[in-house]
Chains A and B, each alone.
Chain A
């Protein structure tokens, strides 16, 4: 997760402590110390969902799946995560609000010292649920919208889903709950991006997360609808330009890019071209601390049956199951040769990634896209949009080297 607003405008936001070790320079509440080195854990509390989105990585549907962790198991899992020092648990799905014990689990996480946040399609966020989640201790709700009304509803399989999500967002804001957008950029909806930001910023939203499509779950079925590398570059430039324009007129929105660490290199190149070498160097230093693609390191996923995954998108392979073994024991077990190799991926990356001068801020970007398209978890990410000239020189800056 790369904060464009932090890197290009200096916006101070919660989360910078996790992303850039920047807690000390922040005035916002930050996660510090041991927890900075533990992964953010996505927990898919259910596979059930009231919508049917084309790109759902969890392949969710309206049916209840067998083997979902019960309330008691969920609390035991949260104790386990707290013992391990997980800083954040992201309640996701399916649609997590179909679980009637969601507030109980959110409250349990908060009491255990884990920051509870939510990923939702927003259409079950009634005023009552928004207030009860706030009262339980929820810290943030990220609501998925993937286009203006017509396109979003087609994507999500239910007419009225856009308006429902907008009402859910308004209900959260009315309850005083920090709320943001989650937007997965594809060829189908790239043209709606600015319009959605305009509509939601008018509604009071000030945090916008833009996801690149990863190739897991039903996402593998719409790879053809993904952006071309050239169009992706344009979309990322649009996010950068838009962020600076909003800030220039005094609207301090927070913008983030997720799911393609080629963006890290692009942001350095963008800063160098638009803002000068000194700013580019600052951007690079933040991104070097950020550490590139987090797969298997700074993000983890636990699905509704307790299977532990390398990221939430990579559901086809599980490292183990929390019903058998604690999360920490699974996550720390580098006798697993894949986990070990991913954490030492510099020694394994091939092709243009092997000699890329931005390797330490990107680390090969999505290993899942490489696996899905190339059949090799260490091949270059097929959605790298950097030019050979951009990646070809020996170091991004004279005097800047990795520790």
Chain B
């Protein structure tokens, strides 16, 4: 039996908080996850979700992404605790290297 042994705990949302959005299209239907919105507060997130989904739903639930526990079978890599490559990070330049390597038209 497959086990839900992968916890996805990588952050999502950087310049603003991320809010997971769930909607119900009619009262007899279950809540469905329909993605997430970026917003600084719950009130703004609610307004944004209502703007996007208000035409089609009878209910919206929102949950801060960082408060959402995700366990699953799928494993894309280091965003997942328990994955094979756990601990790796994207290799990027630091400030000094970026500055040194930026071309500005000066002679070689």
- The answer to whether A and B come from one shared complex is yes
How far is it, in angstroms, between the C-alpha of A321 and the C-alpha of B80 when the chains are bound?
12
Residue-wise interface mask of B (65-107) relative to A, using a CB-CB cutoff of 8 A (1 in contact, 0 not): 0000010101011111000110011111101001101111110
Chain A interface size range: 35 or more
Q: Are B85 and A66 in contact (CB under 8 A)?
A: no
Between A72, A160, A335, A376, the greatest number of chain B beta carbons within 10 A of the residue's beta carbon is seen for: A72
**Interface status of A375 (Cβ within 8 A of chain B):** yes
Residue A31 is within 8 A (CB to CB) of chain B in the complex: no
Q: A100 on the interface (CB 8 Å rule)?
A: yes
Within 8 A of A (CB), among B41-73: 48, 51-53, 55-57, 70, 72
Secondary structure class of chain A's binding surface, majority of residues: loop
Taking a contact as CB atoms closer than 8 A, the residue among A70, A164, A165, A320 that contacts B89 in the complex is A70
Identify the closest chain A residue to B89 (Cβ): A70
A305–B12 contact, CB under 8 A?
Answer: yes
Q: Which residue of chain A has the shortest Cβ distance to B52 in the bound complex?
A: A338
Pairwise interchain contact A338-B77, C-beta atoms closer than 8 A: no
A67 at the interface (CB under 8 A from B): yes
| Distance between A150 CB and nearest chain B CB, rounded to angstroms | 13
Chain A residues 26-63 with CB under 8 Å of chain B are 45-48, 50, 59, 62
Q: A101-B91, A317-B37, A337-B53 are in contact. Are A72 and B78 (CB under 8 A)?
A: yes
Which chain B residues (21-35) contact chain A, with CB distance < 8 Å? Answer: 23, 25, 32-35
Residues in chain B near residue A159, CB distance under 8 A: 104
* A292 sits at the interface (CB 8 A): no
Interface size on B, residues (CB 8 A): 50
> Given contacts A70-B89, A99-B92, A305-B10, is CB(A348)–CB(B55) below 8 Å?
yes
**Does A167 contact B79, Cβ atoms closer than 8 Å?**
no
The yes or no answer to A377 lying at the interface (CB within 8 A) is: yes
Nearest chain A residue, comparing its CB with the CB of B88: A70
| Across-interface contacts of A124 in B (CB, < 8 A) | 98, 101-103
Q: Which single member of B51, B55, B72 contacts A375 (CB below 8 Å)?
A: B51
Is there contact, CB below 8 Å, between A341 and B55? yes
How far does the Cβ of B82 sit from chain A's closest Cβ, in whole Å?
13
- Number of residue pairs A-B, CB distance < 8 angstroms: 176
Residues of A within 8 A of B33 (CB): 320
Is B99 a contact partner of A50 (Cβ separation < 8 A)? yes
A123 to B48, CA, bound (A): 36
Q: Which of A201-209, A258-266, A322-330 contacts B (4 or more CB under 8 A)?
A: A322-330
| A70 lies within 8 A of B85 (CB) | yes
CB neighbours (8 Å) of B39 from chain A are 316
Given the complex, which residues of A lie within 8 Å of B76, measured CB to CB? Answer: 69, 73, 76-77, 80, 306, 322-323
A98 at interface by CB-CB < 8 Å:
yes
Residue A12, interface by CB 8 Å:
no
- Contact partners of B85 in chain A: CB under 8 A: 70, 72-73
Asked if B2 is an interface residue, CB under 8 A from chain A, the answer is no
21 A-B pairs, CB-CB below 8 angstroms?
A46-B90, A50-B99, A67-B10, A68-B89, A69-B79, A70-B79, A72-B85, A72-B88, A99-B92, A158-B102, A164-B103, A164-B105, A165-B103, A305-B11, A305-B14, A316-B39, A317-B35, A318-B36, A318-B38, A337-B23, A376-B51
Q: A64-B92, A76-B77 are in contact. List 5 more A-B contacts (CB 8 A).
A: A67-B79, A305-B12, A306-B10, A337-B23, A337-B34
Give residues in A with beta carbon < 8 Å to B. 45-48, 50, 59, 62, 64-74, 76-77, 80, 98-101, 122-126, 158-168, 304-307, 315-326, 335-338, 341, 348, 371, 375-378
Which residues of B line the A interface, CB within 8 A?
A: 8, 10-15, 18, 23, 25, 32-39, 48, 51-53, 55-57, 70, 72, 74, 76-80, 84-85, 88-93, 95, 98-99, 101-106
A-B pairs with lowest CB-CB distance, top 4: A163-B105, A160-B104, A73-B77, A164-B103
